[in-house]
């Protein structure tokens, strides 16, 4: 079937725009990492990640041109200082690629379901396969190097059982015992500790290399929020005699040289924030202890407030590129009347 005359839908336009923004940002981050990596096992993984992002950007550019779709500004050479000194440890780079590949899998899988044109579905499906392959390869290396904490082991069930009392869902009464966490609840608590750990380190790296006081303050506030959330999730696990994640050594250097543009750093943090919000919503939806659900709702609100502050800061300095949308019909009508 000839698709040439089939117009892009709003979901396809939004998906392609979002992918381009994310992938051009990733290109900048990964290109800088490649400049300093020494580990012979980690360097190929980061290079593979860079090649994936670079290839996606090229494919997107071709799609935009064929669809007469204005190419977004995104991020480029002006957003990364390749002369800046070493900032991230090799282990951080590997952990970063592994965690961001998870973000990519969630993002691309949702975009597949929102695409209609076969050419767009093929592109997004292939991109999903790319990040899935990257996740598997980065996970293999991470496990081999002891840089990826496994989720806790629990006893395998030997028979099925059913819930017989509503107390199973309780957890707010301080004078009554809370039931033990189930496997689904443990997995999400553990996941959110690990993702917040990555965010904490990114915030620290961005805070110490940004030349702007407002960006520094924002990053440090975000870092403290990540630490607070890690503490809450870890204590919940400890209260249930579950081992907390042993976060690997993924430290950053003491460099204070501006490395990435403030525009890129703020955009990256908004991506981390939106991913974290999605994680919390999912965790709250599948948790069956009411205290966990309320915790996720409360923490999601805190993250939402942080996202609002980030958006305000980006608008103030003209860093927030506007996503494609429909024209304001009322303004068009008023403009026509004046003419």
The CATH number of the domain where 48 resides is what?
Answer: 1.20.1260.10
Interhelix angle for 118-144 vs 90-113, to 10°? 150
Q: Considering the domain boundaries, does residue 331 fall inside one?
A: no
Q: In this predicted model, what pLDDT tens digit does every residue of 92-127 receive, in sequence order? A: 999 999 999 999 999 999 999 999 999 999 999 999
2-41: b or e for each residue (b if 16 or more CB lie within 10 Å)? eeeeeebeeebbbbbbebbbbbbbbbbbbbbbeebbebee
Please check whether residues 213 and 140 belong to one and the same domain.
Answer: no
pLDDT score recorded for residue 322: 94
Q: In this predicted model, what pLDDT tens digit does every residue of 196-219 receive, in sequence order? A: 998 999 999 999 999 999 999 999
Please check whether residues 138 and 188 belong to one and the same domain.
Answer: no
Among residues 144, 170, 204, which one ends one of the domains? 144
* Residue 103 structure tokens: 């973000």
Please check whether residues 298 and 200 belong to one and the same domain.
Answer: yes
**Tally of residues, the chain:** 339
Using DSSP, state whether 248 is helix, strand or coil: coil
Torsion sign over Cα 41, 79, 255, 83: positive
Q: Which is nearest to 184 in space by CA: 95, 60, 296?
A: 296
Q: Considering the domain boundaries, does residue 157 fall inside one?
A: no
Please check whether residues 242 and 309 belong to one and the same domain.
Answer: yes
Using DSSP, state whether 287 is helix, strand or coil: coil
Q: Considering the domain boundaries, does residue 268 fall inside one?
A: yes
Please check whether residues 104 and 199 belong to one and the same domain.
Answer: no
Residues spanned by the domain of 85: 10-144
Q: Considering the domain boundaries, does residue 159 fall inside one?
A: no
Q: Considering the domain boundaries, does residue 324 fall inside one?
A: no
pLDDT score recorded for residue 251: 74
Q: Considering the domain boundaries, does residue 124 fall inside one?
A: yes
Q: Considering the domain boundaries, does residue 326 fall inside one?
A: no
pLDDT score recorded for residue 200: 93
pLDDT score recorded for residue 183: 92
298 — alpha (psi -120 to 50), left (phi > 0) or beta?
alpha
Please check whether residues 273 and 188 belong to one and the same domain.
Answer: yes
162-174: b or e for each residue (b if 16 or more CB lie within 10 Å)? eeeeeeeebbeee
Number of compact structural domains in the chain: 2
Please check whether residues 138 and 252 belong to one and the same domain.
Answer: no
* Residue 78 structure tokens: 């002006």
pLDDT score recorded for residue 136: 97
Please check whether residues 121 and 195 belong to one and the same domain.
Answer: no
* Residue 123 structure tokens: 């592109």
| Tens of pLDDT, residue by residue, the chain (339 residues) | 555 567 899 999 999 999 999 999 999 999 999 999 999 999 999 999 999 999 999 999 999 999 999 999 999 999 999 999 999 999 999 999 999 999 999 999 999 999 999 999 999 999 999 999 999 999 999 999 887 766 777 788 888 888 888 888 877 666 567 888 999 999 999 999 989 998 999 999 999 999 999 999 999 999 999 999 999 999 999 988 887 766 655 578 899 999 999 999 999 999 999 999 999 999 999 999 999 999 999 999 999 999 999 999 999 999 999 999 877 767 767 776 555
Q: Considering the domain boundaries, does residue 299 fall inside one?
A: yes
Confidence (pTM): 0.91
């Amino acid at each position: 079937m000839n698709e040439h005359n089939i117009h892009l839908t709003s979901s396809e336009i939004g998906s392609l725009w979002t992918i381009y923004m994310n992938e051009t940002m990733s290109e900048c981050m990964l290109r800088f990492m490649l400049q300093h990596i020494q580990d012979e096992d980690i360097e190929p993984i980061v290079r593979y990640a860079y090649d994936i992002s670079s290839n996606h950007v090229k494919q997107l550019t071709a799609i935009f041109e064929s669809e007469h779709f204005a190419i977004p500004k995104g991020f480029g050479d002006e957003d990364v200082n390749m002369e800046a000194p070493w900032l991230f440890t090799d282990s951080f780079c590997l952990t970063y690629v592994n965690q961001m590949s998870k973000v990519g899998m969630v993002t691309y899988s949702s975009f597949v379901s929102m695409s209609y044109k076969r050419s767009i579905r093929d592109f997004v499906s292939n991109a999903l396969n790319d990040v899935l392959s990257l996740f598997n390869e980065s996970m293999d290396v991470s496990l081999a190097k002891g840089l990826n904490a496994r989720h806790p082991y629990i006893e395998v069930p030997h028979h099925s059982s059913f819930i017989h009392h509503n107390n199973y869902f309780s957890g707010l009464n301080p004078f009554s015992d809370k039931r033990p966490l189930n496997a689904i609840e443990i997995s999400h608590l553990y996941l959110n500790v690990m993702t917040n750990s990555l965010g904490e380190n990114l915030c620290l790296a961005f805070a110490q290399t940004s030349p702007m006081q407002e960006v520094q303050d924002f990053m440090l506030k975000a870092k403290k929020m990540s630490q607070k959330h890690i503490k809450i999730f870890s204590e919940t696990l400890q209260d249930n005699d579950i081992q907390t994640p042993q976060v690997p050594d993924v430290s950053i250097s003491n460099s204070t040289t501006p490395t990435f543009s403030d525009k890129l750093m703020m955009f990256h943090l908004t991506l981390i924030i939106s991913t974290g919000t999605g994680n919390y919503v999912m965790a709250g939806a599948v948790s069956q202890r009411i205290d966990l659900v309320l915790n996720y709702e409360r923490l999601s609100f805190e993250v939402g407030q942080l996202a609002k502050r980030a958006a305000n800061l980006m608008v103030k300095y003209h860093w927030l590129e506007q996503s494609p949308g429909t024209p304001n019909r009322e303004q068009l009508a008023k403009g026509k009347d004046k003419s």
